Amino acid sequence: MPTRKRPLIRYAVVGLGHIAQAAVLPAFAHARRNSRLEALVSDDPTKLRTLSSRYRIAGNYAYEEYDACLETVDAVYIALPNSQHAEFTVRAAAAGVHVLCEKPMAVTIEECERMLDACRQHRVKLMIAYRLHFEEINLKAADMVRRGRIGEPKFFNSSFAMRVRRNNIRTKRHLGGGTLYDIGVYCINAARYLFRAEPKEVMAISVNAGGAAFSDIDESTAALLRFDGERVAAFVTSFNADDVASYRIVGTKGQLHVDPAYEYAEGLAYELTIDGKTTRKRIGKRDQFAPELLYFSDCIINDREPEPSGEEGLQDVRIIQALYESAETGKAVTIPPFAKAKGPTGRQRIVRPGVEEPELVKVQSAHRTQR
């Protein structure tokens, strides 16, 4: 009896910036069970030539050839500047191609809604690449909070900062730059994820002491979110401060501190403190991108709706826009009602070993300094 061949989802990676080269392309080696890198899309011929040779990819396309590329694949991983997410998602959906899109989903609520409408209309899957929904430490943290290990969760706080290089796309407003879009979205999503609730009111203050390098965006933003159940979340993001990426959630019986919490280039760790006794856990570097690919491909093959969904991405953008509105007006902004965040599922518990960062081609990290 012949062996039944496993379904395989063919991907194009669209955009060959730092995240694509350092993490997404290498992740396909750990996702061979159901995912294959089929094509690359970029307007840089050197990147296309070098990376297609390295990964043995025959399908190389410029952005103007995107529609032709879509005829050869089942799914795209969109790793473009934030301002281009909507256009390339809508075009993929119209071609019947599924979309795994980097966070944030887009820059505006209207763009997110266009993406959702296009994917529904053409019956394709849309998932937002919140890699931490697949990361062991954060899955464990959500599980401990859900099971009541810290009692009733009362407040969340977080700090996420780095020193961003001058002229990086994150500092350009027209490309969707700004601290909330790039790193604040992690803090927002983590608070929603851990509380399993939605904010109903937000406030923010943005400051800029960084001079010309940050004149187009917020250099730093402090945010306050009021959740259902009289819970609060506070966080600060900055593009001009020393590296930090941690969060703490405090409950009526204990607290959980995750530090580092948002990284993919190193292992993560947490401290759980209950009645003055602290338990610590640290894991080594893991591949956070291969689990996304494996899970999303399974959703396509088995016709399941993926999580985190496009609706999840829309809610975070809705909150980001409200925070910037608050920072501009000096007033609290109400968030419309939204169904509570679903939280993790057992299918997201996928572990793959870390990968070494390959030699990068005409791209560098956003950080001015590395740890």
Within a 10 A sphere around the Cβ of 91, how many other Cβ atoms?
A: 17
Residue 368's contacts (CB-CB under 8 Å, 6 or more residues apart) are 163, 164, 165
> Where would I find the beta strands (DSSP E) of the chain?
9-14, 35-41, 59-61, 75-78, 98-101, 126-128, 153-163, 199-207, 220-227, 231-238, 240-251, 254-258, 269-274, 277-282, 333-334
> Taken in order 128, 230, 335, 323, is the CA torsion positive or negative?
negative
Label residue 183 left, alpha or beta by phi (over 0 means left) and psi (-120 to 50 means alpha): alpha
Q: Judge whether 103 counts as a catalytic residue.
A: yes
Give dist(CA 205, CA 73) in Å, integer. 44
337 burial (CB, 10 Å; 0-12 / 13-18 / 19+) is exposed
Annotated catalytic residue within 103, 140, 181, 247:
103
Annotated catalytic residue within 11, 130, 186, 324:
186
Annotated catalytic residues are 103, 186
